[in-house]
Amino acid sequence: MVLARILAGHPSVREIVAVSGSQIGKLLTEADPGLDLSIRDRTAVTGGRLVSIEEAASLRPDVVFSALPHLESSRACAAFLPGSVVIDLSADLRIRDRALFRAAYGEEIASPGMAAGAVYGLVEWFRDAIRSADVIASPGCYPTVSLLPLLPLASTRVISGTAVVNAGSGISGAGRKAVTNNLFSERAESYTAYSPGKSHRHWPEIAEKLRDARPDMDVLFTPHLVPMRRGIAATTVVALAGGAGVAEVDGALARAYGSAPCMRLTGDRIPQTSDVWGSNRCDIGRRVEGGYLMLFSAIDNLVKGASGQAVQCMNVRFGLDETAGLELHGLL
């Protein structure tokens, strides 16, 4: 429901059509009591109620956000094409190499051709392509927190070899499905790694985009489940290339993000999740240890790692202020 809450306060959003497969006919304010009743003005076209995909498609919306599970989301998106700009928050369209996608997710989506025309929605790197895209694949939270610090350095050959990424996520990163291992009683006072190295299904997404920036690089990615509700922090260790040091690292990061409104470079200070909680910001810090670079990055997985980033894509696509409707200050 984070997406609905962001759109509810967006200055350029006039109408919202909320879609559900299991709660059709229910008032949106009942499905999410956290929404203020003023949302009814923006959902008047459907009487403030959740509707089916078919009814939503008949209304021909300007933009569609799909946040369904992987392998289902792209099927729903197809109902709105052509005619609407589609922003998919699932992994269905993010990976260009479909063999990698099938290996990670077990099967192919119903319309694999849709992925070929999708633009990857990491705004800080694909802003120009997003401006004219009809299908946008909004990145995952783990790829976002991993790629944003690495891409400026890989593309300018400041780093080389294999990047080792260790990232810790709050429980909300696993979604809302009822899984015993995600219950508070199971996660409280416990911290663990899972799907290490190249076994997590977000690894292909991270590896593909990193290799686009520097083909001879590799990545080992290990996520950790942290007993908190939301937020992701990543520590990345990678070798410096060609005698590069702090000046080269800072220069590459500044050139990439110095004017990017949703990025903050913290230098030696290590960012933490409470800095960015509730915001669409990614904070990046760095330290050099001998021939190695340590990168520290933090995002809110529900905002810059999901709904906020999708809205940022919409803003760019429709020529709006890139930060419209988005919070840049941490809320803690």
Catalytic residue list:
141
Residue labelled with tokens 């939503």 = 56
d(CA 264, CA 281): 7
d(CA 121, CA 145): 14
The three-class DSSP label of residue 1 is coil
d(CA 147, CA 236): 10
Within 10 Å of residue 277's Cβ, how many Cβ atoms?
Answer: 22
The three-class DSSP label of residue 100 is helix
Name the burial class of residue 319, with classes exposed (0-12), middle (13-18) and buried (19+) by CB atoms within 10 angstroms of its CB.
exposed
What's the distance, Cα to Cα, between the start and end of the chain in Å?
20
